[in-house]
């Protein structure tokens, strides 16, 4: 559920793919009016036209991609050709009527269009402009060509993720993109507070890599203090043992267990049916358990491997031990706690797609502010009438002319949509397919899905 905290805040959104859309989705869920401005030549193919409902691209694949729907619900959308003078003129009119502008092009793009901060500021001196990039907008490497593996890889995060005897591991959820986007939202809301109190705008330069470094600050500090360059340690913790991920009954089922205190340790050995371990010198103190944790992990897994992960969670939580089942994407969608908390909002997508659960990007439960339901993500060029008509006072004829002149469009220049290669995914075991997903969701949410 979205909340009305940023009433009257208007944000122009020139971002694509994951990072930028995360930042503006956060602001949209907090009640800001976000106007997504898309190019028809270089629109967001990766999220707009990818992963279709029931694996069916349909005739307008660009309006059906699930990655786009989940990251852009609650936003308005128009198309605008910023490569044309007329497109830029319209854009500047919108700048005049907005509080903030956010973009994630490579550093040269806005400059080449004559739309850098200095130029934007002349149009609207109180505007905030946020640029998101991999390495930042100035500095010798600013033009590096990179995606999320670059941001994570150059931050120290990848180097510190994975098992010690294996390659550094990229995150599984494009986490570096999330870090970049969420930190851009952090900067945006900070500067909005400043703008509200002083009336002044400013420019914000977000480097996704730098933001990622901030998220491993404790690891960096070991180098600062001891000159010790940390390496990946798998699932281990420097202070606590056992601290691991254990195989459970099932095909790909796991549980995470961590023991932080002596009393938890004593309760754990009872639970796994090895009370004699309390007397065992090899495990007598936290330090001994840290030293001998491979043996400990083996003993714990002997117990977990024959049990269901949820049953283990229930048993150990009953003993006040920190334990969590490793939820897969199906189980996250069907999780009772997340449902109770309202983490997912059912959003009506319209004909052919119906209702689907959309995850929140700012999972905060507010008390003291009004609530509202997010509208589905905009179809391509959907809000021309509101944005160009109502906000800028253009007539229907004006819009028709702009469309003729290819300044705006209702369809992007996209290649035909392709279904996801579920066959390859299954063959390589990169994921599993649940044929009953619509029924499972119906049961879980008690609502029509699809």
Partner 1 sequence: MSEQVFSNVKILDLTQGIAGPYCTKLFSSFGAEVIKVEKPDRGDISREMGPFPNDERNPEKSGTFFYLNTNKKSITVNLRRKEGVGICKRLLETMDVLVESFAPGCLTRLGLSKKVLKEINPRLIVTSISAFGKTGPYRNYKANNLTSSALGGAMHLMRPGNSPKKRPVIQGGFQAEYSTGLLSYIATVAALIGRADSGGGASVDMSMMECVSTTLMGHVAEYPYLGLSRRTNPFAIHGYPIGYSVPCRDGWISLTPGIGGAPNIPLLIDRPELLDDPLFTKTQARMAEPGKFDGLIIPWLSNHDKWNITAKAQELRLAFTPVLSAGELFTDPQLKAREFFETTSHPQLGKIASPGAPAKLSATPAHPGKAPILGEHNREILGKYGYTQKEITEWRQSGII
Provide the 8-state DSSP code for 55: G
User: 113, 303, 386, 437: which one contacts partner 1 (CB under 8 A)?
Assistant: 437
Q: Are 20 and 44 in contact (CB under 8 A)?
A: no
Site residues (CB under 8 A) for partner 1, limited to 367-396: 367-369
> How far out from the chain centre does Cα 274 lie?
42
- Among the candidate windows 229-237, 265-273, 276-284, 405-413, which touches partner 1 by CB under 8 A? 229-237
User: 37, 184, 269, 402: which one contacts partner 1 (CB under 8 A)?
Assistant: 184
Token pair for 338: 């997340």
Q: Is 228 in the site for partner 1 (CB under 8 A)?
A: yes
User: 119, 327, 375, 399: which one contacts partner 1 (CB under 8 A)?
Assistant: 327
Q: How many CB atoms lie within 10 A of CB 408?
A: 24
Angle of the 175-198 helix axis to the 19-29 helix axis, nearest 10: 50
Q: Are 331 and 280 in contact (CB under 8 A)?
A: no
**Three-class secondary structure of residue 260 per DSSP:** coil
d(CA 372, CA 27): 14
Its sign, for the CA torsion 209, 212, 217, 223, is negative
Q: Is 434 in the site for partner 1 (CB under 8 A)?
A: yes
Binding mask 91-130 for partner 1 (x = CB under 8 A): --------------------------x------------x
Q: How many CB atoms lie within 10 A of CB 47?
A: 22
Binding mask 131-150 for partner 1 (x = CB under 8 A): ----xx-xxxxxxxxxxxxx
Site residues (CB under 8 A) for partner 1, limited to 403-422: 420-422
User: 59, 393, 416, 428: which one contacts partner 1 (CB under 8 A)?
Assistant: 428
d(CA 17, CA 176): 13
User: 83, 322, 352, 389: which one contacts partner 1 (CB under 8 A)?
Assistant: 322
Token pair for 317: 């939580």
Binding mask 54-73 for partner 1 (x = CB under 8 A): xx----------xxxxxx--
Residues that contact partner 1, how many (by CB under 8 A): 180
| 370 contact partners, CB below 8 Å, separation of at least 6 | 3, 4
User: 15, 24, 39, 50: which one contacts partner 1 (CB under 8 A)?
Assistant: 50
Measuring CA to CA, which residue among 190, 152, 184, 193 is closest to residue 171?
152
**Three-class secondary structure of residue 126 per DSSP:** coil
Q: Is 305 in the site for partner 1 (CB under 8 A)?
A: no
Binding mask 207-226 for partner 1 (x = CB under 8 A): x--xx-xxxxxxxxxxxxxx
Measuring CA to CA, which residue among 276, 436, 428, 381 is closest to residue 35?
381
- Among the candidate windows 86-94, 253-261, 281-289, 385-393, which touches partner 1 by CB under 8 A? 253-261
User: 336, 351, 397, 446: which one contacts partner 1 (CB under 8 A)?
Assistant: 336
- What angle (nearest 5°) sits at the alpha carbon of residue 52, between those of residues 46 and 58? 105
Q: Is 290 in the site for partner 1 (CB under 8 A)?
A: no
User: 1, 282, 305, 329: which one contacts partner 1 (CB under 8 A)?
Assistant: 329
- Among the candidate windows 108-116, 288-296, 396-404, 434-442, which touches partner 1 by CB under 8 A? 434-442
């Amino acid at each position: 559920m979205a909340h009305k905290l940023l009433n009257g805040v208007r944000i122009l959104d020139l971002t694509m793919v994951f990072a930028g859309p995360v930042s503006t989705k956060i602001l949209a869920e907090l009640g800001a009016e976000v106007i997504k401005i898309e190019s028809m030549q270089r629109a967001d193919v990766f999220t707009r036209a990818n992963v279709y409902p029931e694996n069916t691209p349909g005739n307008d694949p660009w309006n059906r991609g699930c990655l786009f729907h989940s990251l852009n619900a609650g936003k308005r959308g128009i198309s605008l050709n910023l490569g044309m003078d007329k497109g830029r003129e319209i854009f500047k009119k919108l700048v005049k009527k907005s509080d903030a502008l956010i973009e994630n092009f490579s550093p040269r793009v806005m400059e080449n269009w004559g739309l850098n901060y200095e130029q934007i500021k002349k149009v609207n001196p109180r505007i905030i402009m946020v640029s998101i990039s991999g390495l930042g907008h100035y500095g010798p490497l600013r033009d590096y060509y990179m995606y999320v593996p670059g941001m994570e890889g150059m931050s120290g995060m990848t180097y510190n993720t994975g098992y010690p005897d294996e390659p550094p591991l990229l995150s599984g959820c494009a986490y570096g993109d999330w870090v970049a986007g969420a930190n851009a939202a952090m900067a945006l809301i900070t500067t909005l507070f400043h703008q509200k109190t002083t009336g002044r705008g400013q420019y914000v330069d977000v480097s996704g890599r730098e933001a990622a470094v901030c998220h491993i600050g404790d690891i960096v500090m070991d180098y600062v203090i001891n000159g010790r360059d940390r390496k990946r340690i798998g699932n281990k913790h420097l202070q606590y043992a056992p601290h691991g991920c254990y195989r459970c009954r099932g095909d790909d089922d796991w549980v995470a267990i961590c023991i932080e205190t002596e009393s938890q340790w004593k309760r754990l050995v009872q639970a796994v049916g090895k009370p004699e371990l309390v007397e065992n010198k090899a495990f007598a103190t936290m330090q001994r358990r840290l030293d001998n944790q491979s043996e400990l992990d083996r003993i714990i897994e002997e117990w977990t491997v024959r049990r269901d992960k949820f049953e283990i969670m229930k048993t150990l939580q009953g003993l006040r031990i920190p334990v969590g089942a490793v939820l897969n994407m199906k189980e996250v969608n069907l999780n009772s706690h997340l449902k109770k908390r309202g983490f997912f909002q059912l959003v009506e997508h319209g004909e052919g797609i119906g209702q689907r659960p959309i995850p929140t990007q700012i999972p905060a439960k507010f008390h003291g502010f009004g609530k509202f339901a997010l509208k589905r993500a905009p179809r391509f060029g959907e809000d021309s009438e509101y944005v160009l008509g109502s906000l800028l006072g253009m007539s229907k004829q004006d819009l028709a002319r702009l469309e003729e002149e290819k300044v705006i469009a209702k369809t992007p220049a996209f290649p035909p949509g392709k279904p996801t290669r579920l066959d390859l995914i299954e063959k390589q075991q990169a994921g599993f397919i649940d044929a009953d997903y619509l029924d499972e969701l119906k049961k879980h949410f008690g609502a029509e899905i699809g």
